[in-house]
Chain A
Amino acid sequence: MSANELMETFSSLGETASLGSGETLFSAGALCQNIYVIISGRVKCQAEGKADIEREAGDVLCLIDALAGTTCSRSCSALEDVELLVIPTQALTSMLEAADNVMAMTMKASAVRVALAQEGAPA
């Protein structure tokens, strides 16, 4: 799904925000309060002992951590000016509560699997 399609899908759940090049979006170990959809720009996600990950327009940050119920597994900073959609994790929780139980369970179980495979990637 493109950044524009994601923006259209999620616009009612959150608000847009901007981040300047070099600014930190969130830090490893912090409470996972939001998930982020990158509308434009690139970010780098880092944690000691883990491979760096770059994310760009159309990617979703913190989704796996939020679903797995962990704190932010990596720190994230902007590699250039970035525009984001910020969605509170409460909106994610409400969405899961409204969803079919089996589908919500499947999404959470899949998120845990991705977290294991990617050493807890914030994506």
Chain B
Amino acid sequence: MEQVHLYKGEVAVMAGTEADHFFLVRHGRLTRVDINDKDSDYAENEMLGITNVLRRQAYRHTYVASLTTTLVKLDQSVITSRLAEQSKSFQALFGNIVGQLDGG
């Protein structure tokens, strides 16, 4: 787990690259570069890339910092190993939620 600091305009994830990490937005904002839709932004306390990591898919879109942004960068093993250690009910609910998420 490491913190990543981005200035406005810096790239957080690039479309087509392997999704081996997911990100928690601590401060700031991430914006998709290919559309002008604020609903696609990731704001504070939101996570980008969970479904990509779990489905082993590349990032589908390029996201840049639209403000000075701090991310917590989490390795895919954080989620895959820790999920296996959770209760069956937790795993079932987690799967239900992630199944409804679009990839980042």
A interface residues with partner B (beta carbon < 8 Å): 1, 5-6, 9-10, 13, 60, 63-64, 67, 92, 95-96, 98-100, 102-103, 105-107, 109-114, 116-118, 121, 123
Contact A106 B50 (CB under 8 A): yes
- Which of A92, A96, A107, A116 lies at the interface centre, i.e. has the most chain B CB atoms within 10 A of its CB? A107
Q: Is B18 an interface residue (CB 8 A)?
A: no
Selected contact of A105 from candidates B24, B39, B88, CB within 8 Å: B24
Q: Which residues of B contact A102 (CB under 8 A)?
A: 74, 78-79, 82
Contact B47 A9 (CB under 8 A): no
Selected contact of B90 from candidates A60, A99, A111, A117, CB within 8 Å: A99
Question: What range describes how many residues of B lie at the interface?
Answer: 20 to 34
Q: Is the interface of B mostly helix, strand, loop or mixed?
A: helix
B interface residues with partner A (beta carbon < 8 Å): 24, 39, 45-47, 50, 74, 78-79, 82-83, 85-90, 92-98, 100-102
Given contacts A10-B92, A107-B94, A116-B39, contact A98 B47 (CB under 8 A): no
Q: Which residues of B contact A96 (CB under 8 A)?
A: 90
Contact A109 B100 (CB under 8 A): no
Could you list 13 examples of A-B contacts with CB < 8 Å? A9-B92, A60-B93, A99-B86, A102-B74, A103-B79, A103-B82, A103-B83, A103-B94, A110-B50, A112-B46, A114-B101, A118-B100, A123-B96
Contact B90 A95 (CB under 8 A): yes
Q: Which residues of B contact A6 (CB under 8 A)?
A: 92
Given contacts A1-B96, A63-B97, A99-B86, 9 further A-B contacts (CB under 8 A): A1-B95, A13-B89, A92-B93, A99-B90, A100-B82, A107-B93, A110-B94, A111-B97, A114-B97
* Closest chain A residue, CB of each to CB of B88: A9
